[in-house]
Copies of this chain bind each other. A is one copy, B any other.
Amino acid sequence: MKKYNIAVVGATGAVGRTLLRLLVKEDFPISELTLLASARSAGRRIEFRGENLIVEEATKDSFHDIDIAFFCAGGAISKEYAQYAVASGAVVIDNSSAYRLNPEVPLVIPEVNGDAVDNHRGIIANPNCSAIIMLMALKPLLAISPIKRVVFSTYQAVSGAGNKAVSELEQQVRGYVAGSIPEAKILPSSSDDKHFQIAFNVLPQVDVFADDYYTKEELKIIKEAHKILNDETIGITGTCVRVPVFWCHSESLNIQFERFVSRQEVRDTLMNAPGVVLYDDPDKQIYPMPLDYYDEDNVYVGRIREDHTVIGGINIWIVGNQLRKGAATNALQIARLLIDKGLLL
């Protein structure tokens, strides 16, 4: 089997580490692995398949002979270096938001719009984690009936704000038990002015505020969903909220189909949807919870109910691992899709 030269930019971050774990776990066909990061993180050592790899500083010249470059280091690094990776002949799978809404860049969830990779020009964008998790459930449901409108409320894990946010929750809880909670420095967004305690709290701000009093996260979900579904007529609105959970995002969705849709139709459809697990048996208190999916790639759906306040109303509850299907797993699936389709440069 052919093997590939892989670069991971941002190897020390939350998504980068998860990606490295998955490359091992799934026995990805790697010839050489190059770990890259900003100057700040360069020099660190990371164990990979028993070897101690040194993280190198990313430069223009880091991408010679690289086949696939995973960018997991934030938008600024992607904007600076993705072009050099492409010029060197690599395909970039970019986990940042830098290129997601660029009309020349495919924004891809393999189970949802895998064919969008066909026309790539060197960069493929990995969608926002909350958007991926939502669309894994919504896309199969579109086979039942067109959807008029979706109202979402999210319950997002701290991992979505990176390793430092994960540590922040951990330290706050340890501080609480010890009698003194350390000052918040990261959440809701490290780039914003004020920071608030996440332990024993929920923060109705994910990412910074943007247009029309929505946060960037809320607008990402809406705009990315429209692009991925290639349909801007579906009304999508909602509120993003950070909760004191480590790894998995949950979402409460109210969906309005164009016609009456029964609970059973939704169940039958999701039961056969790739990457989705129907986990829905109220009689046995079976529904998805974020604590249960630390080591999971699938998206779980439960609490499926008809909402009779509108024609075609359905309420559902979905949970997915933010770092896995919400980030690293999806990126790796894109890489495999490129290989399968012979679309590497």
Contact = CB atoms under 8 A, between A and B. Distances in A.
Interface of A: 149, 151, 153, 155, 173-174, 176-178, 188, 192-194, 196-197, 200-205, 209, 212-214, 235-239, 241, 243-246, 250, 252, 254, 263, 282-285, 287-291, 302-310, 313, 315, 317
Contact of A245 (B188, B200, B303): B200
Describe A's contact surface by its main secondary structure: mixed
A271 to B, nearest CB: 16
Q: Which of A244, A252, A307, A308 has the most CB of B within 10 A?
A: A252
11 contacts: A153-B252, A201-B289, A201-B291, A202-B243, A202-B250, A202-B289, A204-B250, A204-B289, A213-B304, A237-B315, A238-B315
Nearest to A158: B200
B173 A235 contact: no
A67 B197 CA distance: 44
B241 A252 contact: yes
Contact of A241 (B155, B196, B197): B155
Contacts of A244: 200, 243-245
Given A177-B177, A239-B317, A304-B213, A151 B254 contact: yes
